[in-house]
Structures are given as structure tokens and as C-alpha cells.
């Protein structure tokens, strides 16, 4: 609420915010409801998990559990300890400053996903819950 801050709430402004829910459609039809909470990690986590699912064909749980990185300022990037060494080395070779985070509990977001398997309701859904926090995917 600081009137001198760039993200002060005011009429006709769109300050930085992270409202977790996201919804993915395919050909105008519902495909997945999801969200990766975590402040400025939220849009980064959304992008990272979506790329894993849409480009590389990972199921929602595999995409959710995969190691994440977090862009900070400039060329500073945090990475989870499980990040493959070849990825870390490649990022460093490009000039990034990498800092492995020993305890990623609060630093890399936490996601939940519900993916629709097909247009046929009988096919059902796949659900995923992030292993970084308490919770699980359940259906009844």
C-alpha cells in the first residue's frame, strides 16, 4: 500500500499478483484445472509443469514432481538439488549464477493438477499433488 511503490493498488493499474488457479483448454474444451502456488514462483511453476506435460508428454504427477528452477534477478537462478548436473553445468556455461537450494520446501512452489483424459466422461481424469508439500490426489 506504499504510494511510492510500483505495485501500489490504484485505479486502472494491474499490479503484480499471483492468484493460483489456472485452467487449460484444448480446442475450446476443458482439459485441466491446475495451479502452482508460491509467489513469484507461481508463473514459473505453471510454465515448467505445462511444458513438461504438453511438449514432453509427462503425466501430471511426473511433471509436478520434476526438479524446478527459479529465476531471481539478472542471471541468478535457484535450482532444486535433484536438478540434473548436465542442466546445471549448461546453465552455468551460459553465464547464469546458480545456487542450489538445500531445503526446497518453500522455494519452488507446490502444485495440484486435474487432467481430463478425453471428451468421453467415462475415461475419467488424472490427478496429481505436489510431493513438496503435504497433500495427495484422491478420487471417489
pLDDT per residue as tens digits for the range 57-95: 999 999 999 999 999 888 899 999 889 999 999 999 999
Contact between residue 70 and residue 44 where contact means Cβ atoms under 8 Å apart: yes
Pull the grid cell for residue 92.
552455468
- How far from the centroid of its chain's Cα atoms is residue 85's Cα? 21
Gyration radius from the chain CA atoms: 17
**Whole-prediction pTM:** 0.80
pLDDT in tens, 88-135: 999 999 999 987 777 766 788 899 999 999 988 889 999 999 988 888
Most distant CA pair in the chain, distance: 55
Residue 76 host element (H or E) = strand 76-79
Nearby residues of 66 by Cβ (< 8 Å), 6 or more positions away: 48, 49, 52, 58
Q: In order of start, what are the domains of the chain with their CATH numbers?
A: 17-66+109-140 (3.60.20.40), 69-107 (no CATH)
User: 33 — phi, psi (to 5°)?
Assistant: -100, 140
Helix (H, G, I), strand (E, B) or coil at 34: strand
Amino acid at each position: 500500500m506504499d504510494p511510492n511503490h510500483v505495485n501500489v493498488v490504484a485505479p486502472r493499474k494491474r499490479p503484480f499478483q499471483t492468484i493460483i488457479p489456472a485452467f487449460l483448454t484444448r480446442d475450446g474444451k476443458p482439459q485441466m484445472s491446475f495451479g502452482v502456488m508460491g509467489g513469484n514462483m507461481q508463473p514459473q511453476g505453471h510454465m515448467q509443469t505445462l511444458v513438461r506435460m504438453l511438449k514432453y508428454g509427462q503425466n501430471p504427477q511426473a511433471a509436478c514432481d520434476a526438479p524446478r528452477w527459479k529465476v531471481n534477478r539478472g542471471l541468478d537462478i535457484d535450482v532444486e538439488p535433484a536438478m540434473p548436473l548436465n542442466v546445471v553445468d549448461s546453465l552455468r556455461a551460459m553465464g547464469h549464477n546458480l545456487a542450489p537450494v538445500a531445503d526446497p520446501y518453500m522455494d519452488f512452489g507446490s502444485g495440484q493438477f486435474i487432467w481430463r483424459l478425453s471428451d468421453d466422461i467415462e475415461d475419467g481424469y488424472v490427478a496429481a499433488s505436489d510431493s513438496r508439500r503435504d497433500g495427495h490426489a484422491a478420487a471417489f
